[in-house]
Amino acid sequence: MNKKEDLKNYIQALQEQEKSQESKNGITLWGIGAGLIYIAWQIISKISNIQETPNSAEQLLELLSILTTVVACILFIASNYSSTSKSTFDYRFSPNTKHTTTSTSIAILLIPTIASTLAFAYAIETTEPKLFQKISGYSFLTLLLLFFLAEYSTTVNKSMPDVSSISAGEHGKTVKIFTLALTSLFTLLASVGAWKIIEGIFSKNYTEAQFETAFNLCLIPICIFIAKGIRDNERKSNNLNKLQRDIYIHDISTEEIEFRLKEEFIGFHFDERMQSEIDKIQIKIESFIEVAEQYAETRERISSIAPHLKYEIDGHKSEYRKKISDSFNSYNNLFDELKRWVDRALLSTKANDTYVKTKLTEIKDHLANSYMANSETLNRILKDLESL
């Protein structure tokens, strides 16, 4: 069986996994839509009961700000317990989806929390301090902005993917401390929020209608979050179907099939992606060496010209100088770009991972050694050329 057939079978296996996952989920966008309609109806049915209570709008907003904070804190804390595989095959650059997905998903869950907590902290005119709501709102706003900036840096169109898109790397000390601080903060906020809710139940500060309405309002972003996950899975299935169509109808090459699988679904392996950049530089190096090897012939030709034909000599020298300089600059541009990327990567938290740091250090040394040799060749030729 050839490689193309193996890739076809792999795509079919991915499709079966997607179908199996959809079947296990047992919920569709239509089901989510029906659920949202039901939740909206339940909220509307409670409006008249809420209006009967004095200061009902303020109490409902307060309860909503506390409840959304507790839900958001629990979701954040739970997300930090996901396991990470450490196989060397898992060191990959995340597929370039060309649009932010994680930040959008987090925004769906956090914006109601941010909006309700800050609205209650500043929109309600009362002398009672709103420290809990202010801390909650600004903490989640900061977290959302950090997530957006981090993901934007990975999805923005670049010749090299962002360092943060390397999966399976160990988190650095700074990231671990920051994550621990956020986890501690959100654990505290969740505990305080839960206590406020329990206290409100026993003191009867909130009515049953307010509790039901606030709870239903919290369900809306969760339903939208689930719907987005279903929609993302559908997009992945559609892309797999398109890839399969292009294989059978347009008979695309094995190389293109493999490239699209890596770019859209499984990501490029770290070593493979870095080697492809080194190969690009190596092509430029070979081109430069080819021009450098022509110098002996060029030198002999220039030396054979009569000394009084100065303009002819200068013309040949200028022509070769431009040729070898352009060839070196073409190589140098790719070298500088990759070197800057490697330097940034070594300063990032991903470099705390032993595997990543070792590979990056090897690449940096290789680039430096080859650059030094080629730079010396260029300088030696240019110096000799001037002496003619």
Same-domain status, 255 and 109: yes
Contact 351, 369 (CB under 8 A): no
Contact 151, 107 (CB under 8 A): no
**How far is Cα 69 from Cα 114, in angstroms, rounded to an integer?**
8
Vertex 344: Cα angle to 341 and 349 (nearest 5): 130
Same-domain status, 361 and 232: no
Confidence of residue 98 (pLDDT cuts 50, 70, 90): low
Same-domain status, 237 and 367: no
Q: What is the CATH number of the domain that holds 285?
A: 1.20.58
- State residue 97's pLDDT score: 54
The number of folded domains in the chain is 2
| Residue predicted with more confidence, 79 or 81 | 79
- State residue 354's pLDDT score: 85
Same-domain status, 294 and 322: yes
Residue that is last in its domain, among 264, 279, 296: 264
- State residue 151's pLDDT score: 75
- State residue 177's pLDDT score: 83
Tell me the two tokens of residue 28.
Answer: 């569709």
Same-domain status, 369 and 287: yes
Q: Could you count the other beta carbons within 10 Å of the beta carbon of residue 107?
A: 17
Same-domain status, 158 and 127: yes
**Beta bridge partners of residue 93, listed in sequence order:** 166, 268
Q: Above 90 in pLDDT, residue 369?
A: yes
pLDDT in tens, 259-295: 888 888 888 888 988 999 999 999 999 999 999 999 8
Give the whole-number percent of the chain exceeding pLDDT 90: 35
Same-domain status, 249 and 293: no
Residue that is last in its domain, among 212, 229, 264: 264
Same-domain status, 109 and 250: yes
**How far is Cα 149 from Cα 302, in angstroms, rounded to an integer?**
57
Closest residue by Cα to residue 95 from 161, 170, 19, 9: 161
Residue 253's SS3 state is: coil
pTM of this prediction? Answer: 0.73
Vertex 29: Cα angle to 24 and 32 (nearest 5): 90
Give how far Cα 321 sits from Cα of 261, 286, 290, 335, Å. 44, 18, 14, 21
Same-domain status, 204 and 279: no
Mean pLDDT across the chain: 85
Domain containing residue 103: 3-264
Q: Above 70 in pLDDT, residue 310?
A: yes
**How far is Cα 328 from Cα 288, in angstroms, rounded to an integer?**
6
Same-domain status, 300 and 334: yes
Residue that is last in its domain, among 199, 232, 264: 264
Same-domain status, 208 and 288: no
**How far is Cα 180 from Cα 239, in angstroms, rounded to an integer?**
38
End-to-end alpha carbon distance in the chain: 62
**How far is Cα 235 from Cα 187, in angstroms, rounded to an integer?**
35
